[in-house]
Amino acid sequence: MKKKKIGVYICHCGGNISDYVDVEKVRQSVEGEDIVFIAKTTMFACSDTNQRDMVDDIKANNLDGVIVASCSPKLHQLTFRNVSIRADLNKYTYVHANIREQASWAHSDNKMGATEKAIHLVKAAIAKARYADALETNKIKAKKAVAVIGAGVAGMKAAISLAEKNTEVILIEKEPFVGGRVAQWDSLSTTTETGKNMVKRLYSELTKHDNITILTNSEVIENKGSVGNISLKVKRTPRFIKASACHPDDLKRAIEVCPVEVPDEFNFRLSNRKAIYKNYPSEYPQIPVIDVKNCTRCGECEKVCKAVDFTEKEEILDVEVGSVLMATGFDSYTPEYGEFGYATSDNVITLPQFKRMIDTQFDKLTYNGKQIKNIAYIYCVGSRQTDGENTYCSRNCCTSTIHAAVTAKQKFADINNYHFNRGLRTYGKQEILYADSLRSGDIYLQSYEDGLPTVITEGKKTIVKINDILTNGREIEVEADLVVLVTGMVPRADNTIGSLFKIPKGRDKFYNEVHMKLRPVETVIDGITIAGACQGPKNIAESVNSALSAATKSYSILSKGELETDPLVATIDPEKCTWCGACEAACPFDAILKVEKDGKTIAEINNTVCKGCGMCAPVCDPDAVNLIACSSKEIMSMIDALV
């Protein structure tokens, strides 16, 4: 084989690298390697100018490969593969060395060590480049359909947007009704439209598109395949009610006669509901449901309502899609027992409960039969914790609380609002709401970071105490008829779906995006996007923006109907293979076939199914299996270069 000629480009990264790594020394240490034809340093390897230089160098010198030593390949592998393509060089002959995250930054305390390491890393990349072959990408057909999981505002909006782009959508909602949290809110901040109306509007748009299938009461239970061709199994629990035969009066009676009462989660357990139920009159779809978990099959409802049908069966549906858009939303934080008097004091409730209270009561605001006048709001409960895990701010609760407080004051007589906050975060235009509330006479008290307010119960009285920053640390007490704990947003407690799709979580345990600044809706798993509050706390507009962004990304993956996949798959050496079947057993994707070749039984890799995990490689006793680009000869020569 003719000796390779490669180019090595070592980036200063405008000082991010060169402040700690002596890039010139790195260049000198590698320029003498046999296959290195060009070794250069550059201020910004990713800049247009340098990219142009690389293309010129490759073409002018007929290089067979290039190495860029710069930041993490997560950021720029694509950039430089594209440079190769523009220079008519196979993109798989390009090798990356990460000398920023793994050298200059990680060892900014030790310049000599960082430089030494960078030299080794570049040498290892050269070792790898020696074996890097030109490869052809695999082309696979992609299914132009997207499964949207969760029908909150984010999921509904994403579904509509995809359908408008002539893409088939399967919208899967685990509850019997669509709308998510927003269906639970009546009045919303920054608009006169109610949450329920917004849900209604989105639902009617959904039903206009015949390429959307809405599956309520449904959950994904199996996930197979990968981007372009994902096969899901969806379990649909029946409603036990025939839509066509449903008569409103009969139904009302059926609900009346049902003997089972369970806490109503829709109302945040403020009240109870029956086992046959609807949450609110205009709910979508407009068919009530029997909650199988609690139904005792006593048959009372069946007697009064013809629509009840206990013969309906659970169904398992097969869904084939090219991409999955996750929009499973959030839970509200549940305070610990006794946290600010929660569950130990009669007059302490959470913000979502308070929202439901003010939405469902008229004229007078009462709780436990008592009229409410003084309301104390304690902010950041379950957020910004200094001793708990939720160190983050929930972003939306300051605004929602002030809005709820202002709404309560407008709707009910004699309300006094006391806001026990930790510094208000009504960012952006929401500031206006804060200003309005101040003008209406709401009182704001701010605690010191190390002295949160306390809730004390004295007989029937509930007192909130604070050392208030805004009045120079004075101890202030408010006797409150109602204490509202401003509970933040937390990830859904049930993460079965996240585990099923292997979606990584961030430090805050919400789903994590690939790149916090520039790629907020994509995940490390190709073809899976995340939208709405499952990625982190968001208000409605922010959830919708992210839903539309995720829809665009999912669409742009599938719009061509064809996908390119990396050819970095496993290979079998037919000489060495003795067909013991170990690799077949190890492969999680059934990509290994038993074939007869030249009179010998051997294993063969199905390239379009193999995902290149390499699980088959270590189990092969005769060492017949290798992964392209991570073969033993590559790894071992890298080890040689690193010691």
Among residue numbers 452 through 491, which ones bind another protein (CB under 8 A)? 469-473
Q: Please tell me whether residue 200 binds ligand SF4 under the rule CB under 6 A.
A: no
Whether 402 contacts 437, CB under 8 Å? yes
- Name the token pair of 103: 């050298």
From residue 403 to residue 422, the character string flagging contacts with ligand SF4 as x (rule: CB under 6 A) and all else as - is -------------------x
Buried residues in 125-154 as b, exposed as e (16+ CB within 10 A): bbbbbbbbeebeeeebebbbbbbbbbbbbb
Neighbouring residues of 518: CB distance < 8 A, sequence distance ≥ 6: none
Selected from 396, 437, 462, 565, the binder of ligand FAD by CB under 6 A is 396
Choose between 84 and 399: whose C-beta lies nearer to ligand SF4: 399
| 533 part of the interface to ligand FAD, by CB under 6 A | yes
Residue with Cβ nearer ligand FAD (130 or 355): 355
Give the interface size with ligand SF4 as a residue count (CB under 6 A): 13
3-state helix, strand, coil in the chain (%, to 5): 30, 25, 40
Distance CA 53, CA 464 (A): 68
Residue 397 interacting with ligand SF4 (CB under 6 A): yes
The H or E element containing residue 86 is helix 73-86
CA–CA separation, 434 and 405 (whole Å):
11
Cis peptide, bond prior to residue 285, ω within 30 of zero: yes
Residue in 121, 232, 393, 482 binding ligand SF4, rule: CB under 6 A: 393
Least Cβ distance, residue 5 to another protein (angstroms)? 25
In angstroms, rounded to a whole number, what is the distance separating the alpha carbons of residues 524 and 184? 33
| Residue selected from 107, 425, 538, 553 as contacting ligand SF4 according to rule CB under 6 A | 425
The 168-172 sheet, strands edge to edge: 212-215, 168-172, 145-149, 323-326, 528-530
* Contact window for another protein (CB under 8 A) among 22-30, 61-69, 109-117, 281-289: 109-117
Decide: is 145 part of the binding site for ligand SF4 (CB under 6 A): no
Pairing, β 168-172 against β 138-141: unpaired
Question: What are the DSSP calls for 120-172, one per residue?
Answer: HHHHHHHHHHHHPPP-PPEEEE--SEEEEE--SHHHHHHHHHHHHTT-EEEEE
Give me the least distance between CB of 535 and ligand SF4, in Å please. 17
Q: Which does 352 bind (CB under 5 to 8 A by kind): ligand SF4, another protein, ligand FAD, none?
A: ligand FAD
Query: Which residue's CB is nearer to another protein, number 294 or number 512?
Result: 512
**Which positions ≥6 away from 280 have C-beta within 8 Å?**
183, 196, 266
Within 236-275, the residues that bind ligand FAD by CB under 6 A are none
**DSSP state string for 351-389:** HHHHHHHHHH--SS-EETTEE--EEEEEEEETSS-SSSS
Show contacts with another protein in window 136-175 (CB under 8 A). 153, 157, 161, 164-166
C-alpha–C-alpha distance, residues 170 and 534, integer Å: 19
Q: Is 90 in the site for another protein (CB under 8 A)?
A: no
- Residue 335 or 488 having the CB closest to another protein: 488
List the single partner that 259 binds among ligand FAD, another protein, ligand SF4, none, CB under 5 to 8 Å by kind: none
Residues near another protein (CB under 8 A), total: 133
In the bound state with another protein, the residue whose beta carbon lies nearer, of 36 and 198, is 198
115 versus 187: smaller Cβ distance to ligand FAD: 187
> Applying CB under 6 A, which residues contact ligand FAD?
149-155, 172-175, 180-182, 185, 188-189, 219, 327-330, 332, 351-352, 355, 396, 400, 403, 492, 497, 532-533, 538-541, 543
> Applying CB under 6 A, which residues contact ligand SF4?
379-380, 383-384, 393-395, 397-398, 422, 425, 486, 488
